[in-house]
Every structure is written in structure tokens, then in C-alpha cells.
């Protein structure tokens, strides 16, 4: 057992040789353990939460939700703009785009945008906690939990090794989707009188599906293109996009095609989950 641990440590040390030294001292970046622990705790809360709330009344946290969603709109907008201004609107290629590991202003700005995107994925775990506090257990679906639970940990590796370049295309799209989603979700939390502004519920899921299709097409380029970008990360992005394309397509089919004859409640869409307004 000791030998196995030593060999694993040796292999990990060899992997770390390729880590980006610029982010070594950034918050949460020296080790993947804190990210892993938080994601595991998140799953534990999801499993235990319904039992803990079973004999309690749903919590009225409307004001908390309003502040939270407004904050997430602001953060998602900031991250989206930073991805644009540090690369995707200032010269990044949609084809081969290596990571700039220099200390130039643009390169550091892109690395910072990646780090903020990574941090935002931890904040988004509160989506699920708020569902549980309000006893909206049906909203805590496999799709919802899987999406939230895997993103923070997987993005630690993105920031640690490739904070920029080709792989940030999906983060650019995702940050835009989230600023739209939290805008929608915030309006839904205001109450029934705002339902007239929520006519675009169905289109949020379509936007999410489009996001995954674009990510698949973009990532697949490295299957036949020579590019100074680690193909392992491109494969991971393609796999991730493919899995969620299937899951979100199934959600769309269940919600808007197979059940289209049933009355649909006006509510927000949270990572493929419809949330009834309060």
C-alpha cells in the first residue's frame, strides 16, 4: 500500500511539472484537495438535505434569492466580458489557440478570468442548497447535481494547467448562458406578477443545447488538427459537452415535446430544471 502511494505521488509530481507557475499562489490553486473536498461535501448535503428538511417548513428566503441572483448576474457578466476582452474579442482564433503562458497583461487577464470562472462554480453550489432549504426537492435532479458537482473540481485542472487558449471557448459560452439564466431566475423569484416577463423559459434550454453543440464542434477540431494545446483537455471538453447534450436533450424532450399537451407552469430554468416561482 505504501508503495502504491509513493508511486502515485511520483506520478502526480511529474504531472505538476506542466502546471502553470503563475497561478501557484492563487487562492485554492496550490492543491486540488480543497476543491475535491468541497464537491464531496456538496454531494453529502444533497443526499442528507431532504431528510434534514423533512419535518421542517420551507424557508422563506425570497430576499436572499434576489440578492444572490443579482450578484450572479453581475459576476457572470464580468467573467463573460473578461473572456471577451482578454482574448476572444481581441485576436483569439476559433481554431488553434495555444495558451499564452507569459506575464503579459492580456495573458494574465485571461488567466484571472479562468480563475474567476472556477470560483463562480463553487458559488453556484448554493443553487442546490437553496432548493433544499425551500423543499424544492424535485428540482434537485441528477442532471442538476451532476452538472454542479463536477464543474468546480474539473475546472481546477483547467486553471492549474491551461488557463487560457482553446479550452476557454466553452467557458465564454457558459458565462453568457449563466448571465441570461440568473437574470431569468431572478425575475422568477420576484413572484407571479413577473410571469409576463418569463415568456422565454423554453428558449433558455434551447440556448443551453446550442452551447453544448458548439462546444462539441469546437473541441472536435483537435481530433484532426495539430495545435500546441493539450489534446487531453479537448477530449475532456468534448466528452463533457456530449454527456450534457444528451442529458439536456432528454430534459427538453420530457418537458416540451412528450408533455407538450400538459399545462406548463411559468418558471425559471436552472441548468435544465424548471423552478416554479413563489
Query: Which stretches of 203-264 are assigned E, i.e. beta strand?
Result: none
Would you name the residues annotated as active-site residues? 147
pLDDT (average), residues 92-112: 96
Q: Is 276 helix (H, G, I), strand (E, B) or coil?
A: strand
How much is the pLDDT for 272? Answer: 46
Q: Which helix (H) or strand (E) holds 274?
A: strand 274-276
- Give the list of residues 6+ apart from residue 230 with CB closer than 8 angstroms, or none: 161, 162
Is residue 238 scored above 50 in pLDDT?
A: yes
141: left (phi over 0), alpha (psi -120 to 50) or beta: beta
How much is the pLDDT for 267? Answer: 44
Digit-coded pLDDT (tens) for 124-142:
999 999 999 999 998 888 8
Question: pTM of the entire structure?
Answer: 0.88
Digit-coded pLDDT (tens) for 74-84:
999 999 999 99
Q: Which helix (H) or strand (E) holds 269?
A: strand 267-269
Tracing cell 442546490 back to the chain, one arrives at: 128
Give percent of the chain with pLDDT exceeding 70. 87
How much is the pLDDT for 277? Answer: 37
Q: Is the dihedral of CA 116, 127, 147, 258 positive or negative?
A: negative
The neighbour count for residue 12, using CB atoms within 10 Å, is 10
Amino acid at each position: 500500500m505504501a508503495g502504491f502511494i509513493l508511486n502515485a505521488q511520483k506520478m502526480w509530481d511529474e504531472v505538476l511539472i506542466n502546471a502553470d507557475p503563475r497561478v501557484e499562489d492563487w487562492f485554492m490553486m496550490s492543491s486540488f484537495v480543497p476543491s475535491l473536498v468541497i464537491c464531496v461535501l456538496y454531494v453529502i448535503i444533497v443526499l442528507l438535505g431532504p431528510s434534514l428538511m423533512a419535518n421542517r417548513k420551507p424557508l422563506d428566503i425570497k430576499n436572499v434569492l434576489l440578492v444572490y441572483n443579482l450578484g450572479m448576474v453581475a459576476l457572470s457578466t464580468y467573467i463573460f466580458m473578461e473572456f471577451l476582452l482578454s482574448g476572444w474579442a481581441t485576436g483569439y482564433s476559433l481554431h488553434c489557440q495555444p495558451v499564452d503562458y507569459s506575464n503579459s497583461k492580456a495573458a494574465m487577464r485571461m488567466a484571472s478570468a479562468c480563475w474567476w470562472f472556477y470560483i463562480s462554480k463553487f458559488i453556484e453550489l448554493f443553487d442546490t442548497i437553496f432548493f433544499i432549504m425551500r423543499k424544492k426537492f424535485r428540482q434537485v435532479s441528477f442532471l442538476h447535481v451532476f452538472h454542479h458537482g463536477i464543474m468546480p473540481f474539473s475546472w481546477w485542472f483547467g486553471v492549474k494547467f491551461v488557463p487560457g487558449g482553446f479550452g476557454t471557448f466553452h467557458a465564454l459560452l457558459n458565462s453568457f448562458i449563466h448571465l441570461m439564466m440568473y437574470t431569468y431566475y431572478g425575475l422568477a423569484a420576484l413572484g407571479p406578477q413577473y410571469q409576463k416577463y418569463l415568456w422565454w423559459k423554453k428558449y433558455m434550454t434551447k440556448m443551453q443545447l446550442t452551447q453544448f453543440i458548439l462546444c462539441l464542434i469546437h473541441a472536435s477540431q483537435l481530433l484532426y488538427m495539430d495545435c500546441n494545446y493539450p489534446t487531453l483537455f479537448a477530449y475532456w471538453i468534448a466528452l463533457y459537452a456530449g454527456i450534457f447534450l444528451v442529458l439536456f436533450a432528454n430534459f427538453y424532450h420530457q418537458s416540451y415535446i412528450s408533455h407538450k399537451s400538459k399545462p406548463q407552469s411559468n418558471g425559471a430554468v436552472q441548468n435544465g430544471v424548471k423552478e416554479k416561482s413563489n
